[in-house]
Amino acid sequence: LQSSQTEVLQQLRKQLEYPRHLDAWNYAGDLCSAPPSPFLTVACEANTITELKIVGDKPAKVSNFDGHPVAGQTLSAFFSVDSFVTTLSRLNSLKVVILVSLGIWGPLPDKIHRLYSLQVLDLSSNFLYGSIPPRISAMGMLHTLTLDANFFNDTVPDWFDSLSNLTVLSLKNNRLQGPLPRSIGGVTALTTLALSKNNISGRVPDLGSLSSLEVLDLRDNQLDSEIPPMPRGMVTILLSRNSLAGKIPHQLGELSRLQHLDLSYNLLQGTPPASLFSLPNLSYLSLASNMLSGSLSSKLACGGQLGFIDISVNRLTGTLPPCLSDISNERVIKFSGNCLSDDSSRQHESSFCREDRIVGKGGKNRYIGLLICAIGGAFVVMLVLLLMLLYFYRRHRHGRAKAETRLLQNPALENYSTGFSSELLANARYVSQPVKLGSQVMPTYRVFSLEELREATDNFSRLSFIGEGSHGKVYKGRLENGSQVAVKCLALFKKYSIRNLNLRLDLLSKLRHPHLVCLLGHCVDGSSDDSSVHRVFLVYEYIPHGNLHSHLSEISMEKFLTWPERLAILIGIAKATHFLHTGILPGFFNNKLKTHNVLLDEHYIAKISDYGLSIITEEIDKHEDDVYSFGLIILETLTGPAQAARGEAFLLNEMRTSFSRQEGRKQIIDPTVLGTAADESLSLVISITDKCLSSESSLRPSIEDVLWNLQYAAQVQATADRDQRSDATSQA
Ligand SMILES: Nc1ncnc2c1ncn2[C@@H]1O[C@H](COP(=O)(O)OP(=O)(O)OP(=O)(O)O)[C@@H](O)[C@H]1O
């Protein structure tokens, strides 16, 4: 196996948080030649991985999953499905990917389509949510797509018909909603269509042109149409627990290959076609809990394979035909809850099954229906009138508030130079799920009173003062519950009404990530009558170990940061930046990234401070770009602040000269880094830094690419360190 592919496998193992059965990858030897097991398979062709199957032991499904990681069930808050798929897509010859019960959580990224050779994709029993990525439609080789037992909660996509090779589509046990698109009838190669246990509503579309379809499973949805004609080759039809109405089509009685038919728990009416019971291959037939009526013909014949028949809880009358009443043979027959004369103890009175008692039948019911329509119509008219009255009343009353909202949403009236337009504020409502990331372990956001903050900071005393940045002074404080906080007093240069400010704070409060200094709440100092505000206090968690800049400097006596530690810090910053760029729509791209704004907690975990503040201060340097700024942070991490203090131009020049030569590196790179870094790891980081610092912004990588490269460099470093340790032990 190519060493780069082994590295990717190790990276995946790390991202999956070292599941036990991947310990097998620890041992030397070619992973391609390991015998496949039901839980783990790595198959290769020409030294390249073509098949990857990992079946974990995480629970199949929990009911309380709401997009946050769940301890012991999903992977942790540090897992990023985006990075995981980026890593996976490096194995670009993969034809089969089966990753089941591994606790993978998050929205499945569109970039999964980079696996363009994929034929089988099975991600069942994980915690994926959101929509099924549209770019899967470009994976032309795909013949099996199985995403069962996840939490996909959008509609069933309407592009499956562009997958001309798709034979198995299984999306069971998700939260898919809305109607089944008609285009599903155009996925011509389908043999299996399984969408049971979702919230799909509306019609069962015409599937007549799916000439290869054998299995249709739409159980446990909210489908409410009639049953359409089915393709001739059907073997299994499962439509139970919907609201299907109308008669059972006679056409079903012509499906000579049919073995399994379940239409139970619907609203089907009429007398079941006799031809159904005599189908030559049918072994299981359930029509239970419908509104079927009439009597079954005494001439009705049962097919030779028919072993289970359930017609219970319907409105059937008369006597059972001989083939259903003969208890001597081995058939299981259930027929209680009807009005049959065979087994009076478990049957209703005949009046219960009279045709005129069945909804929608008979003149009396039609009359009642008309009456209901008339009353309903009058009610709707009154309701509309009432709503119109209410609307005009509210419009009048809230005229001022609405004018302000319009102001926020009207680009023409905004200060466009800020980049934070109405679009951003309007979209604040559509914060994507990853925003919730980590909020489980973080305290909930709240509003503080000025008195509370005065008390916490000893009335903003000189002793509590930590420092002053461009946004204002920062004080250290202790809340009543004992927790330490940093209170930032924002000097506002722009006047906001309280309402406008609250919209902005609301957006800021949604930015939560393990590598962002947690914003605990705010306090607005202003009059309560919604007039303008001049002072805002932001209350953050207190991060005790100072900032990265001072830790990198030679005078920092506390601890010299080794290369692996520096890499871990850089990865933390990249993860948070990635979140700021993609976790909220539209993303935050100017976050004043610099080593002064990277704080370190007691475990040397990096946390970005000062992020997103331009939403309130509205000052944005158009030339500032997070990826470029991040490039400068990496440079400072490589060289130490003393070199960095010589200025950006000096560093950029060094980047193009000294960094490309071994000798030059020795002069410019911090000795602690040189002493603890493997050459290959260092080269990877230098190469991505160079790209981050491209003068042309379009040539810079995305933060996601940067993150991947850093993680890869960390993996390379870890492998080198491990090798070095084992060499040392073998020599000893
Ligand atoms: N949550 C926090 N916990 C501990 N110290 C903090 C916290 N937030 C800020 N500080 C410290 O408060 C001081 C002022 O920080 P602030 O972020 O306002 O300005 P800055 O980063 O120094 O400058 P600039 O605003 O120009 O970026 C800094 O020393 C910073 O390390």
pLDDT, residue 535, reads 81
User: Which of 5, 8, 98, 13 shows the shortest CA–CA distance to 49?
Assistant: 5
Mutate to test the pocket of ligand 1, among 466, 517, 556 (most ligand atoms within 8 A of CB): 466
Question: Do 90 and 709 meet the contact criterion of CB atoms below 8 Å apart?
Answer: no
Helix (H) or strand (E) holding 536: strand 532-541
Q: Which phi-psi region, left, alpha or beta, contains residue 417 (left: φ > 0; alpha: ψ -120 to 50)? A: alpha
Which atom of ligand 1 is closest in space to residue 517's alpha carbon?
Answer: 1
CA 668 – ligand 1 centroid, Å: 28
CA 473 – ligand 1 centroid, Å: 8
Which atom of ligand 1 is closest in space to residue 541's alpha carbon?
Answer: 1
CA 644 – ligand 1 centroid, Å: 20
Which residue is closest in CA terms to ligand 1's atom 18? 469
Mutate to test the pocket of ligand 1, among 442, 539, 609 (most ligand atoms within 8 A of CB): 609
Close Cβ partners of 275 (under 8 Å, ≥ 6 residues apart): 250, 253, 254
CA 577 – ligand 1 centroid, Å: 18
CA 457 – ligand 1 centroid, Å: 16
User: How far apart (Å, rounded) are the C-alpha atoms in residues 396 and 381?
Assistant: 23
CA 548 – ligand 1 centroid, Å: 11
The amino acid present at 404, given as its one-letter code, is E
Residues with CB under 6 A from ligand 1: 466-467, 469-471, 474, 486, 488, 517, 540, 542-543, 547, 592, 596-597, 599, 609-610
Question: Do 142 and 121 meet the contact criterion of CB atoms below 8 Å apart?
Answer: yes
pLDDT, residue 510, reads 82
pLDDT, residue 724, reads 82
Task: For residue 223, list its beta bridge partners.
Answer: 202
pLDDT, residue 582, reads 77
Question: Do 440 and 72 meet the contact criterion of CB atoms below 8 Å apart?
Answer: no
User: How far apart (Å, rounded) are the C-alpha atoms in residues 610 and 465?
Assistant: 17
Close Cβ partners of 712 (under 8 Å, ≥ 6 residues apart): 7, 11, 684
Point out the residues of the chain with pLDDT beneath 50: 359-373, 392-440
Q: What is the DSSP letter of 499?
A: H
How far from 716 is each of 9, 656, 660, CA to CA, in Å?
Answer: 12, 24, 20
Residue 530: Cβ within 10 Å count? 15
Which atom of ligand 1 is closest in space to residue 542's alpha carbon?
Answer: 3
Q: What is the DSSP letter of 108?
A: P
CA 611 – ligand 1 centroid, Å: 11
Q: Could you give the maximum distance between any two Cα atoms of the chain, in Å?
A: 100
The phi, psi pair for 152, rounded to 5°, reads: -60, 130
CA dihedral 307→312→318→319, nearest 10 degrees, is 30
Which residue is closest in CA terms to ligand 1's atom 1? 542
User: Which of 705, 709, 436 shows the shortest CA–CA distance to 578?
Assistant: 705
Would you mind telling me the total number of residues written for the chain in this entry? 732
**How high is the ipTM of this complex?**
0.97
